[in-house]
Structure 1
Amino acid sequence: MNHYTSPSESARNILTANDRGGYTIPTSGLYPYQWNWDSAIAALGFAEFDIDRAWVELETLFSGQWADGMVPHILFHNPDPGYFPGPDVWGGIGPIPSSGITQPPLAATMARRILDMDAEAGAKRMRALFPAMLAWHRWIMKWRLDDYGAVCTTHPWEAGRDNAPDWDSAMAGIDASDVGEYQRRDTSHVNSDDRPTKYDYDRYIKLVQIGREVRWDQQKLLTLNPFRVADPTMSFTTLRAARDLLAISAQLGLEADGLHADIARLDAGAQSLWNDTLDAFDARDAHSGEWAQSVSNASYLCWYAGIESPQMLERLKSILTTVPHPIPSYDPNLPKFDERRYWRGPTWAFMNMLAGFGLAGMGHGVEAEALRLKTARLIAGHGFAEYFDPITGGPAGGNSFTWTAAVWLHWAGRN
């Protein structure tokens, strides 16, 4: 007799299988290390059946924090020759071999949700983590803001949306002719049509080389780095994290000097990403001031950040009814839409969850629930893929993916 495995059981199995003892990999083969924002989402999934393990995930992430407060986007806990670029290419300067860039700061927001699930058990863990979270926040405030207070990404990998159309113009300005020979590993694990192109990858590696050359000196990189883009992902997630840090500090009676002022500045910065011509939140090149003219799934994180937008709500209602599997990572009506290539069209379940958190938190319960149900149907019908074709629902990228499993357990699959 065949045993039927429910999606919830499958999701728990994926988290357990991807657990490397203290940290979780996104999926075996393709991503063999601990990724920053993946880990924050993984913690939410673990919290549904093992709350201690959820806290351990976040504690392990912060064990790689640099002395200046930065939390890297990858921690290379155990060597794996199947991944490029590895620690030898990055030349990170933290306590654990790591990359030299950060990622959208989801950890404080997810930690607050986990704390709310069991405040008694979590208070001590949160108190211990809080200074590290605050230090990371202050590092972002010091090194990543543009003149308007929007938060910039200094590498496409830092925003987490690697090959999004938002970066095309800034990427075009990078001379990668001297990047040298290297061997990509990602395309040996998954279909190359689902991945960034060699043109993109050359520029990713060039930016790593620039950072490594100055040993990730942020002051020097302000001048040297040709890539600096004020971005909805970084701006909205940093603003939300600041709001959550303030709430945690009030709840637990912790020092959090300056957060009120930071929130005001970040709020103004995030609002400055409104592109009137596009009638949406957009990315803006911090060097040139040029708009990306890109409506991405990050544009819909405004509510997650606590920012209301009637225009974005109208867009969302339209997307919910016209795109079979929303929210696409790039608007299908715009010219660069590519339904399978990573961040140029595909739907990402965890981005839907973040948008859903925001919608529900700001009173848009109908839209939040519609998005949750559509995401649940997508995962139940097509599995725990890294991302999905927004038109057909077809799975793409890696399989048995940690954050998709976590999204099911914490949000999409809940009755």
Structure 2
Amino acid sequence: MSNHDNAALDARARDILIANDRGGYTIPTEGLYPYQWNWDSAFCGWGFSTFDVERAWQEFDTLFSGQWPNGMVPHILFRQNDPDYFPGPDVWGTEGIGPIPSGGISQPPVAATFVRSVWEQNKDFGAERVAALLPKIKAWHAWFMKWRTSSEGAVFLTHPWEAGRDNSPDWDSSMAMINPEGVGEYSRRDTSHVDPAMRPTKDEYDRYLWLVYRGRERRWNEEELSRDRPFMVADPTLTFILLRANKDLSFMMNAMGMDTSEVDAWSERLMKGAQSLRNPDTGLFNAINLRSGEHTGHVTSATFLVWYAGMEDQASLEAIRQELANNTYPIPSLAKTSPLFDGMRYWRGPTWAIMNALIGIGLQDMGHQEEAETLRIRTRALIAEHGFAEYFHPETGSPAGGGTFSWTAAVWLAWASSSVGDK
């Protein structure tokens, strides 16, 4: 790729973020996702920081302005009414719980890591913004530790959307245990924007909605919801990301002269929890159906977040080398060797630039420069050749899901572009 081509792609990525800006917060893409999504927003702040640091801080501020009194930061903030989206605020039934109409669950807490990244670009400029955000970030992490941590110390999800990997095979066995009786008729909007072959199936969506209705009936009271959880899966996505986020939170708190003992204790607990996710048969990290106690056995892109969490693992290193060698555009969200692999259906095979970025950051941090750079170069080629799509086929690179996608643009600007490091 020539410098001219790279500069043009940099400009295109900036234009996408600006076009998806809705006044201090960013939507993922027009039509398909018309609201502020939690981890999407944190990625956008990271992307904005490459050319507008003040706008990056605004993104974090608007995200945390939707924080619930119990510390949870919702996965969606419904900042305006869009009847073309389902399930909208009337389905979630969270009115009066948080400051903004929202979903009733959370998403992977990448925000602390990206807040640290933006703050380290200019600590003087960001000092007051960080100081204001740290208590909010800590309260969110405390919510995870209280309500989403297993007895072994792994973080579990209570709805597939909470991990951000909506239809991953990691949830199949747990979803099969749910009888979505009473869901009734409904009209999805996602399949009117995107080919249904790229989206979760109706059977999956019935169960998604059944879990939402259960939460709504209980007014999203965590104490009540915890008494008999029908869906409960210990997850490498959430476990590894929260572990990394706690370490970054501790680093910022320490720099601000704050006591980090509680946060550091959380990290110790999560380190032990992460080890519980190691499959005794394969030696790799995967999800566990906590209702049955069984490992799912799937090798997913989340498996390779181990280095992002600051953990070393030889078995995972050998496995990711195989994924890098066996895929034109790694890392697939489900290994191609799985009989469930589908290269175009959401989290059952496609490559996601966001996961590549997190995996690549972890590899780089842990000293695996060759693998990190290979992944970065392949992701750069994927986006350069196939655009700023939501996700891509790991072999053909065919773009799938939404187009002009904010977090793909953010990943380009902050990690994949060859101009990263030149600024």
TM range (shorter): over 0.9
1:85-234 equivalence runs, <5 A: 85-92=87-94, 93-234=97-238
Tell me, yes or no, if the aligned pair for 1:163 and 1:196 is still in contact at 8 Å.
Answer: yes
Match of 1:218, as an amino acid? Answer: E
Q: Deviations over 1:189-217 (max 9, x none)?
A: 01110000000000000000000101011
**Partner residue in 1 for 2:44:** 42
1:177-326 equivalence runs, <5 A: 177-326=181-330
Cα distance in 2 for partners of 1:104, 1:333 equals: 27
Q: Deviations over 1:262-305 (max 9, x none)?
A: 11100000111000213310100122211111111000000000
Cα distance in 1 for partners of 2:222, 2:351 equals: 33
Match of 2:379 among 371, 375, 382: 375
Cα distance in 1 for partners of 2:8, 2:229 equals: 48
Q: Deviations over 1:104-123 (max 9, x none)?
A: 00000110011111111111
Cα distance in 2 for partners of 1:376, 1:251 equals: 34
Q: Residue 184 of structure 2: SS of its match in structure 1?
A: coil
TM-score, with length taken from structure 1:
0.98
Q: Deviations over 1:150-200 (max 9, x none)?
A: 000110000000000000000001111211111100000011100000000
**Partner residue in 1 for 2:348:** 344
> 4+ runs of 1 displaced by more than 2 Å?
254-257
The gaps in structure 1 that reach 5 residues or longer are none
Cα distance in 1 for partners of 2:216, 2:133 equals: 28
Moved more, 162-171 or 111-120: 111-120
Cα distance in 1 for partners of 2:181, 2:223 equals: 25
Q: Deviations over 1:238-265 (max 9, x none)?
A: 1011111110111121243411211110
Match of 2:211, as an amino acid? Answer: L
Match of 2:229, as an amino acid? Answer: N
Q: Residue 180 of structure 1: SS of its match in structure 2?
A: coil
**Partner residue in 2 for 1:7:** 9
- How many angstroms does 1:314 deviate by? 0.6
Q: Residue 79 of structure 2: SS of its match in structure 1?
A: coil
1:68 aligns with 2:70: yes
Match of 1:330 among 334, 349, 362: 334
Q: Residue 187 of structure 1: SS of its match in structure 2?
A: helix
Alignment: residue pair count = 413
Moved more, 278-287 or 374-383: 278-287
Cα distance in 1 for partners of 2:282, 2:106 equals: 29
**Partner residue in 2 for 1:52:** 54
Cα distance in 2 for partners of 1:52, 1:145 equals: 35
Tell me, yes or no, if the aligned pair for 1:297 and 1:330 is still in contact at 8 Å.
Answer: yes
**Partner residue in 2 for 1:389:** 393
Cα distance in 2 for partners of 1:254, 1:107 equals: 19
Tell me, yes or no, if the aligned pair for 1:25 and 1:32 is still in contact at 8 Å.
Answer: yes
Tell me, yes or no, if the aligned pair for 1:69 and 1:132 is still in contact at 8 Å.
Answer: yes
1:357 aligns with 2:361: yes
- How many angstroms does 1:225 deviate by? 2.6
Moved more, 271-280 or 376-385: 271-280
Cα distance in 2 for partners of 1:159, 1:286 equals: 15
- How many angstroms does 1:341 deviate by? 0.3
Match of 1:400 among 376, 401, 404: 404
Match of 2:46, as an amino acid? Answer: L
Cα distance in 2 for partners of 1:413, 1:69 equals: 35
**Partner residue in 2 for 1:18:** 20
Cα distance in 2 for partners of 1:227, 1:29 equals: 30
Cα distance in 1 for partners of 2:216, 2:228 equals: 12
Tell me, yes or no, if the aligned pair for 1:210 and 1:224 is still in contact at 8 Å.
Answer: no
Tell me, yes or no, if the aligned pair for 1:134 and 1:256 is still in contact at 8 Å.
Answer: no
Identical-residue share of aligned pairs (%): 57
Q: Deviations over 1:51-82 (max 9, x none)?
A: 00001001000000000000000000011001
Match of 1:405, as an amino acid? Answer: A
Cα distance in 2 for partners of 1:331, 1:221 equals: 33
Q: CA RMSD in A?
A: 1.1
Q: Deviations over 1:135-162 (max 9, x none)?
A: 0000100000111000001100000000
Tell me, yes or no, if the aligned pair for 1:210 and 1:225 is still in contact at 8 Å.
Answer: no
Match of 1:217, as an amino acid? Answer: N
Tell me, yes or no, if the aligned pair for 1:174 and 1:203 is still in contact at 8 Å.
Answer: yes
Cα distance in 1 for partners of 2:11, 2:198 equals: 28
Q: Residue 79 of structure 1: SS of its match in structure 2?
A: coil
1:31 aligns with 2:38: no
Q: Residue 16 of structure 1: SS of its match in structure 2?
A: helix
Cα distance in 1 for partners of 2:260, 2:367 equals: 28
Match of 1:138, as an amino acid? Answer: A
The gaps in structure 2 that reach 5 residues or longer are none
Cα distance in 1 for partners of 2:216, 2:331 equals: 36
Q: Deviations over 1:321-376 (max 9, x none)?
A: 11111000001011111100000000000100000110111111111111000000
Q: Residue 113 of structure 2: SS of its match in structure 1?
A: helix
